[in-house]
Structure 1
Amino acid sequence: MDAVFRALADPTRRSLLDELFREDGQSLNALVARFELTRFGVMKHLKLLEEAGLVVTKRRGREKLHYLNPVPIRLVHDRWVSKYAEPWTAALSELKQRLETPMEKVFEIYIRTTPERLWQAITDSEIRSKYNFGVQIACDWTVGSRFEQTSPKADGPLGEGEILEIDPPRRLVQSMRALWSDDVKSEGTSRVTWEIEPVGDSCRLVVTHDQLREGANDELYGGWPMILSGLKTWLETGEVLTTPGSLMYA
Structure 2
Amino acid sequence: MTKPDFMMETHIRCSQDALWDALTSADAVANYDFLGQSARREGDTLIYATPDGFETLHAREITLDPKSRIVTTFEPKWEPDAKTSEVTYLIGVEGEYCKLTVEHRGLAHDPSDGTADGWVRTLAGLKTWLETGEPMHFGGDHLWAEHEGDA
Whether the 8 Å CA contact 1:112–1:201 is kept in 2: the answer is yes
Q: Deviations over 1:144-198 (max 9, x none)?
A: x3332223224x3211142110012111100111112x3xx43310111111000
* Match of residue 148 from structure 2: none
Q: CA shift at 1:239, angstroms? A: 1.7
| Higher relative contact order structure (alpha carbons within 8 Å, sequence separation ≥ 6) | 2
Aligned residue identity for 1:146: T
Q: Which has the higher helix share?
A: 1
Distance in structure 1 (CA, Å) of the matches to 2:13 and 2:85: 29
* Match of residue 152 from structure 1: 51
Structure of higher CA gyration radius: 1
The two structures have a TM-score, normalised by structure 2, of 0.80
- Superposed CA RMSD in Å reads 2.6
Q: Which has the higher strand share?
A: 2
Structure 1 segment 32-71 matched on structure 2, within 5 A = none
* Match of residue 66 from structure 1: none
Q: CA shift at 1:232, angstroms? A: 0.8
- In terms of mean alpha carbon deviation, does 190-199 or 236-245 score higher? 236-245
Aligned residue identity for 1:134: G
Aligned residues: 142
Does residue 165 (structure 1) correspond to residue 60 (structure 2)? The answer is: no
Percentage of pairs with the same residue: 30
Q: Deviations over 1:179-222 (max 9, x none)?
A: 12x3xx43310111111000011100001111112536723442
Distance in structure 2 (CA, Å) of the matches to 1:192 and 1:248: 22
Aligned residue identity for 2:97: S
Whether the 8 Å CA contact 1:111–1:202 is kept in 2: the answer is yes
Does residue 174 (structure 1) correspond to residue 72 (structure 2)? The answer is: yes
